[in-house]
Structure 1
C-alpha cells in the first residue's frame, strides 16, 4: 500500500513540477528539469509518462478535471475567470503540444452540459439575458482561451475582455 501512495505522490509531484517547468522554460523544458524539480529520478518520470507528449497531455487532462470540478461549484462569471486563468497557466503546455492531441479549446467543448447549467443559473439570477444560448457562451469561452494563450495577453487586457464578454451576456 505504501508503494501505491508513493507512486500517486510522485505522479502528482511530477505533474505539478512539469506545469511549472513548462510555464518557466516553455516547450524547451526537459524531463530532467521536471524530475529535478519534482525530487524524483528521471526514470520515475518516464515510468509515469513514457513520452514528453504523454506528460503534456496529462497536464491538460488535469487542467480539464480542475475546470470540470469548478463548473460544478461556480457561477458563470467565476467560471469564465477560471477558464481564462487556466488558459494562461497552460499556455506553454499548449505551445509544446503544438498540433498534437489536445488543447484547452477542444477540452472546453466537453464541458457544454456544465456550461449550460451555469448559463441557466445566470439567467435565473438575472446575470445573463434570457436569449443567450450555450453555443454562444462556448464560442466566447473558446475565444477567450485562445486570446489568453497569446503573448500579448496582459492582466489589463484580461480584465477588460472579460468585462466586455460578461456585459454582453447580461
Structure 2
C-alpha cells in the first residue's frame, strides 16, 4: 500500500523539451556558481530528477555543460523581453525597462566569462558575433517612436544606451554595485548636470542611492 501511495505522489514527468530546458537552466546556475567541474549528481539534485535522466537527454556531461553555456548567449529571451515593452509608455519608462533586461544579460554573460575564462566561451561568442547588431535594432525599434525628442538618430541613441548599460553593469567595473537602470537612463537623456525637472525619473530621490 505504501508503494502505491508513494507512486501516486510522484510528480508527473516533464515533456522532453521542458526536461531539457530544466536541466540546462540548473546546469547554468551551477556553472555560474562553481565552474564547469560540477557533477551530474549535483545537476540532477538541482533539477529534481534522477541522475540517469540526464543521460537520456544528453550523451555526456560535457554536452550538457556546453548546452548550458550556449544558453547564456541565446539572444531569444532578451529580444522577446525587449519586444514586450509597452511602446505606449513614455520614453524614459521604456528605456528603464530595456536597461533592466540588458543588465540581467550583462551580469550573467560576464559572470560566465569570469568563471570559464575567455577561451572557454570564445567559440560560443564568435558564433554569435552579430548579437550586438540584433540588440541594437531591437533598441532602435523601442526608441524610434520618440525620435523627435532626441538630438541624435535612434540608432545612435541605441548605441549609447548599450554602451552605458554595459559599462555601468559590468562586474569588473562596478563590482556588486551596478548603477540602477533609472540612473543609466537619466545619464543618457539628461547627463549629470542639474536642471529643472531633474527629479522626473526619481520618484524616490530621497533614498540616498547613487546621489549626484
TM (norm. structure 2) is 0.59
User: 1:76 aligns to what?
Assistant: 95
Query: How far off is 1:120 after superposition?
Result: 0.7
Q: Which has the higher helix share?
A: 1
Counterpart-to-counterpart distance in 1, 2:145 and 2:173 = 33
Counterpart-to-counterpart distance in 1, 2:37 and 2:132 = 26
- Bigger relative contact order (CA 8 A; separation at least 6): 1
Query: How far off is 1:108 after superposition?
Result: 3.2
The reply on whether 1:132 has 2:141 as its aligned counterpart is no
Counterpart-to-counterpart distance in 2, 1:31 and 1:107 = 31
User: 2:44 aligns to what?
Assistant: 35
Q: Deviations over 1:12-32 (max 9, x none)?
A: 21122123213322x345252
1:7 to 5, 16, 29: 16
User: 2:195 aligns to what?
Assistant: none
Query: How far off is 1:142 after superposition?
Result: 4.5
Query: How far off is 1:67 after superposition?
Result: 1.0
The reply on whether 1:148 has 2:148 as its aligned counterpart is no
Q: Unmatched 5+ residue regions in structure 2?
A: 1-11, 86-93, 192-212
Counterpart-to-counterpart distance in 2, 1:101 and 1:68 = 18
Equivalent residue runs for 1:18-167 within 5 Å: 18-25=27-34, 27-32=35-40, 33-40=42-49, 41=51, 42-44=54-56, 46-47=58-59, 50=63, 52-61=65-74, 64-74=75-85, 75-95=94-114, 96=116, 97-102=120-125, 107-123=131-147, 126=149, 129-142=150-163, 144-145=165-166, 148-154=169-175, 156-159=177-180, 160-167=183-190
TM (norm. structure 1) is 0.71
Q: Which protein shows a greater Rg?
A: 2
